[in-house]
């Protein structure tokens, strides 16, 4: 069965510092991986996805993610954090074996301190 793990409930970083939000996955076939962001009392917004090709994927708001097949990871990164990046981040996976479900991680709350 496919699954997603976000090992950190919360990540704290100072404004201007680089940030990493971790995600590992388990699927039976090749994965399709996504990151979403949720601001307070809002719905989720799509940030970026990995389907195939380059392992480094660039997305919205300066975020990027690196797909690592050997480590089954898809960590979200940003070179310089902003206070406005503070939000709840979800990693999600779909497998390409005919499954339809998007499986979400439990979420990681990011706090960026000024």
Partner 1 sequence: IAGITQAPTSQILAAGRRMTLRCTQDMRHNAMYWYRQDLGLGLRLIHYSNTAGTTGKGEVPDGYSVSRANTDDFPLTLASAVPSQTSVYFCASSLEYTNTGELFFGEGSRLTVL
The strand pairing partners of 109, in sequence order, are 10, 88
The answer to whether 97 touches 29, Cβ cutoff 8 Å, is yes
Shorter beta-carbon distance to partner 1: residue 54 or 100: 100
In the complex, least distance from residue 49 CB atom to partner 1, rounded to whole angstroms: 6
Task: Count the Cβ atoms, other than its own, within 10 Å of residue 47.
Answer: 20
How far is Cα 67 from Cα 70, in angstroms, rounded to an integer?
Answer: 9
Distance in angstroms (rounded) separating the CA atoms of residues 104 and 19 = 21
3 Cβ neighbours under 8 A, 6+ residues apart: 25, 26, 93, 103
Query: In terms of CB distance, is 49 or 77 closer to partner 1?
Result: 49
In the complex, minimum distance from the CB of residue 5 to partner 1, in angstroms, rounded to a whole number: 10
CB of 15 to partner 1, least distance (A): 27
Instruction: Pick between residue 101 and residue 113 the one whose CB is nearest to partner 1.
Output: 101
Q: Rule CB under 8 A: which residues touch partner 1?
A: 32, 34, 36, 41-46, 49, 51, 90, 94-96, 99-102, 104-107
Using the minimum distance from each CB to partner 1, give the nearer residue, 18 or 39. 39
């Amino acid at each position: 069965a496919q699954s997603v793990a976000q090992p950190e409930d919360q990540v704290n970083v100072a404004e201007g510092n680089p940030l990493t939000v971790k995600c590992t996955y388990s699927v039976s076939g090749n994965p399709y991986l996504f990151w979403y962001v949720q601001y307070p009392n809002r719905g989720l917004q799509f940030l970026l996805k990995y389907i195939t090709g380059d392992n480094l994927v660039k997305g919205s708001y300066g975020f990027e993610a690196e797909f690592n097949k050997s480590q089954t990871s898809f960590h979200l990164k940003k070179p310089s954090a902003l206070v406005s990046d503070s939000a709840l981040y979800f990693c999600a996976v779909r497998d390409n074996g005919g499954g339809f479900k998007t499986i979400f991680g439990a979420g990681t709350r990011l706090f960026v301190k000024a």
